[in-house]
Each structure stands twice: as structure tokens, then as C-alpha cells.
Amino acid sequence: MSAISVKDLSVAYDRKRVLSNIFLEIEEGHRYGILGPNGSGKSTLLKAMLGLIEDYTGTVKVLGQEVKDVRKQVVYVPQRSEIDFTFPATVRDVVLMGRYPHKRVFQRLNKDDHRIADEALNELGIADLQTRQIGELSGGQQQRTFLARALAQQADILLLDEPFVGVDIPTEEKIIAVLRKLSSEGKTLMVVHHDLQAVPEYFDHVILLNQRLISYGTTEEVFTPEELKKAFGGQLALLHQAGSLVK
């Protein structure tokens, strides 16, 4: 069974088509990098998979079911620009939010929930920041916090939108180490990404988009100058950067 099955997905905003006729079978236990130029529909693809967009056609099945029926098995980390960092929450508060999908209405968090949160904080190296307000953190610390929340949810599928943007090198290294560990444990990851140089090192599968599906498959098969040119077209600087890496 596929982790996520997408069939004939099309999405429009204000009657403008953003994604057209997307077919994907996402296999369990892999790290998928979602690549494409600005405006190619990368973030839209994740949101459609999550049921966060109403104006779409086609079908999306997650673990063989409707996403609403497997919510606790799927976690989403949006772009930092979409998060309200003025909200009065501490790092620990945010990480504990990852436990709520496992709770019934009005059910309290227990010792196991706090233990799982502690493990996530330690995994991301932010246990010493847990009493800090999220708005006081650096970009890298904020990203670590929201990834720790994702870990605390203990989901099987993680969808991350530009997790490496605005972070320092130690944070980027920490994030990719965590993602590799998760995929080795059988978790499925889909990551919107823009740094082509890092693709062969970070992902074992690639999805190339430009409002339509250009190609998808293993990184070796898809991350080639020919396929990248189909996706990025005249963006020669990006192609030159990627072409120096692709054999």
C-alpha cells in the first residue's frame, strides 16, 4: 500500500489553475524532495494532500483512507512565514501540541505525553530553550521547535514546507539528521525544497513540478539536467548550479 496516492489532482485559486492532473504514488519509508520554480504549486500540493484546499478535483488517499480519518498519522510543518510567532506560547507548549491529536476532547496530557515531548526536545537540541517564548527565538530555533512538535506527534507521514529556509548550518545539519533517522524507521517524508545543491545528499526520491508533474522517482533517475530543464525552463542560473552536480 502506498503512503499517499494522488490521482488526477487539479487545484485552482480564483479560477486560475495551479496544479493540473497530478498522479503520484508515494512509497513508505522514503524522503521525497519536492522541487520546482516559484509558483509551481509545491506548497499547494502539500495542502491539497492535507485537505486544506477546497477547490480541487481528483482524489487523495493517505494510508488507503481519507486524510480526515488518519489525521494523527500525518503531521504538517508549514513555512515559517505562515506561523504566528506572536502567539504567547513557550517552546514546550508548542512541542506538547503534537500530542493533542492523540487525545480525546478535554482529555489531559499525562506523564507519557510529557516524556515524549522531552524526547523530542532533546532530539532537536532545544531542551534548554523550553521555557522561552517562541517569538524570542532565532529562525533556526523556531524551525527546530516545530520539527520537535512533529516528532512528538509520532506520525507515520511528515509533510514539511521549506524547513531549511532561514536556518543556520548547525540547524540544517540537525534537521537532515533527524529526517534520515525518521526514514530509516519507516516514516515517509515529503519536503518542499529549493537548494538544488543539497538534493542528492538529502533525498532518495524527487518530485519535479511546474504546475504539472514533470517527473518523479528515485533521485538518480529524476535529478538530471534534462529533467531539471523541463521543470525550471529558462532559469539558467539554477540549472547551471544543479548541472555541476548531476552526473
Residues 182-192 pLDDT 10s: 999 999 999 99
Give long-range contacts, CB 8 A cutoff, 24+ apart: 197-204: 197/241, 197/242, 197/245, 198/164, 199/33, 199/35, 199/223, 199/242, 199/245, 200/245, 200/246, 201/176, 202/31, 202/33, 202/176, 203/31, 203/32, 203/33, 204/30, 204/31
**Mean pLDDT, residues 180-203 taken together:** 95
Indicate if the pLDDT at residue 236 is higher than 50.
no
The answer regarding whether domain 4-243 maps to CATH 3.90.420.10 reads: no
Band of pLDDT at residue 82, cut at 50, 70 and 90: confident
Top pLDDT among 203 and 241 is at 203
Band of pLDDT at residue 80, cut at 50, 70 and 90: confident
Strand partners, 74: 157
Indicate if the pLDDT at residue 234 is higher than 80.
no
